[in-house]
Amino acid sequence: MLERPDPLLGYRFTGFTLPAREFYRASLGAIEKACARHYGASTGEISAVELERFVRKLAHAQLQPWDGPPQALVYFVLRNDAIDAAYGVPDAYASLQIPYMAHIEPPRPWWRP
């Protein structure tokens, strides 16, 4: 899903300022470093309230110090990747009672080529 020429993740829309693998490694690494600095724990260990506060700071580029790609870009790309997984699949449409109406059904799970 990451490698060119046909990567499917949201990073494709950024124009590839970095190779995709490098971007995701740098972004996720910077997030974990910032979380550890703020809460002394990883993103998987902090409470839901703390996680929401943390993501809001990321969205507003307020995590300081920050050692990664621009925070707004990281928020945009990772948020869209999460939206793809949660809402870009036929099951999400069914759960919201919206007809999916495919001409050609996508693979299930979505990442299967």
Partner 1 sequence: MSDADVVIVGSGATGSLLAAHLGTSGRRVIVLESGPARRLDQLVSSTIWSRRLKWGGAPVRTEGANPVVPSFEAGWGTGGSALHHYACWFRLHPEDFEMASRYGKGLDWPLAYDELRPFYDSVQREVGLSGDAKLEVWRPRGAPYPMPPQPVFAQGEIIARGFAKLGERVAPLPMAINSVAYDGRPPCIQDGWCDAGCPTGALANPIAVYGPAMRKAGVQLINDATVTRVLTDATGRRVAGVDYVDAQGTMRTVRASVVILAAFAVQNPRILLNSGNARHPKGLANSSGLVGRYFTSHGAVNLYGLFPERTDNHMGRSGGQLVSQDHYAKDPKRGYLSGYTWRIGNALKLADLAGIANSRGDLFGAALNEFMKRAAQHLATMSALVENLPSLENRIELSADKDSHGLPLARVVHSLGEDARKCLEAATEAGRKIFTAAGATEVWAAPLRTEHLTGGTIMGSDPAKSVTDGYGQTHDVANLFIAGPGLFPTSGAVNPTFTAAALAARTAQYIAREVRT
Single-letter amino acid code for the residue at 77:
V
**Number of neighbours of residue 92 by Cβ within 10 angstroms:** 15
Of 22, 52, 62, 67, which lies in the binding site for partner 1, with binding defined by CB under 8 A? 52
Query: Computed over its alpha carbons, how large is the radius of gyration of the chain?
Result: 16
Residues in the chain: 113
Stretch that binds partner 1, among 14-22, 26-34, 39-47, 62-70 (CB under 8 A): 14-22
Stretch that binds partner 1, among 12-20, 21-29, 32-40, 63-71 (CB under 8 A): 12-20
Compare residues 17 and 42 and give the one whose CB is closer to partner 1. 17
